[in-house]
Structures are given as C-alpha cells and as structure tokens.
Amino acid sequence: MEVDLSIIIINYRTPALTKQTIQSIAEQTEGISYEVIVVDNLSDDDSEQQIKKSFPGVVWHQMGYNAGFARANNQGIRLSKASVVLLLNPDTIVINEAIKRCYQRFVQTAYVGCSVQLLNPDLTPQISGNYFMKGGLNHLLPLPYWGAFLKMVAVVLKTKKTKCAGSINRRKGRLDKWSLSDG
C-alpha cells in the first residue's frame, strides 16, 4: 500500500494517550493517505492489545528494550512507507485538520523539514523552542509552568521569534540559512 504520509508515535506505558492521539488523527485527517506506526519502548503492559484492539490498522513495532525517543523514532522511520514522515508525540490532539493542512503546504516547498506551533490545552501558544535567547542561551525547559516565564523573559530581552533557523533545500541539496525575523 502506497501512502502519502507515515505518522510515527512512540509509546511507553501510555496506551490511553496514544489511543486518544490516533483517534484525533482519524477524526481530523481526511483527503491524504497515511499510515500510523506505533513504536513501543518495552512498556511491559497491555499497550499493544489496547491500541491494536481499537485501531487494528496500526503498524506496531516492539523495540524489545527501552531504546529512548530518538532511537525509537529512527526505527519508525525505517519502517515507514511514505516519503514524508511525521514524528508525533503520544499526547497530541490533532485539531482543525492540522496534519492534512501541514502536509499539503509542506509538499509544495523544497524543504525537508518543518514544524508547527504547539498549543496548550487552553489553545494558547506553547513555547516549544520557538524563542531563542541572546548570547546563545537556548535552554528552554519543556515544562509547562516555565512557558509563561520564558516568554516574558524573551519579550523583555526583545528576542526575535524564528520562523526557521535553517533548513535544507532538498532540490538543490544545500543548507539555506534564513535570517531571523520578527513574528
């Protein structure tokens, strides 16, 4: 089966969250073909049974040990059938056809990577590496309660929000550096 997009989700003892994510993908992603690959980091629970019972079409891969997030994603990429891959956290809720819209926009570009703005449960923007600090300080903690504080610091220091710090132009095979710009 040929698909437009391979969606990779890493599971480690989060079957309820992972099922919620897959359900939101199914409800919010129409008009493109996709596969969902769940890579499990040896959860030692009933994650596989729960997820496969609810979503029998999911490709399940058991790592056999806790390989960590990066290595598990690499394995998922190896298993993927599509030329476009989405790495998705198991606590993601897809809204407003975000995957389809992002995919359609992405395939029209020459770039090999992109990201989207993450939102908090109240739909406010989540700081997720979108701001950088002067002097090379880039230690933004992914803890939710730090978000507002870090954003305030970024505003006080008049840091600029990046649209893209650098990307690879896949047609020309070179690294293009974009300048940092406001908002």
Domain segments of the chain: what residues? 5-106, 110-183
Is 36 in contact with 57 (CB distance < 8 Å)? yes
What's the CATH superfamily of 5-106? Spore Coat Polysaccharide Biosynthesis Protein SpsA; Chain A (3.90.550.10)
| pTM over 0.75, yes/no | no
The pLDDT of residue 111 is above 70: yes
Q: Which of 112, 104, 107, 154 is nearest to 129 (CA)?
A: 154
Tokens of 67: 């390989």
> Under DSSP, is residue 61 helix (H, G, I), strand (E, B) or coil?
strand
Q: Which pLDDT tens digit goes with each residue over 58-109?
A: 999 999 999 999 999 999 999 999 999 999 999 999 999 999 999 999 899 8
Cα 121 from Cα 69, distance rounded (Å): 23
Measure the N-to-C terminal CA separation of the chain; round to a whole number of Å: 40
For the ranges 1-10, 97-106, 111-120, 161-170, the lowest mean pLDDT is seen at: 161-170
Surface-to-core class of residue 108, CB atoms within 10 Å of its CB (0-12 exposed, 13-18 middle, 19+ buried): exposed
Contacts 24+ apart (CB under 8 A), 76-79: 76/6, 76/8, 76/9, 76/10, 76/37, 76/39, 77/6, 77/8, 79/6, 79/37, 79/39
pLDDT band at 182; cut points 50, 70, 90: very low
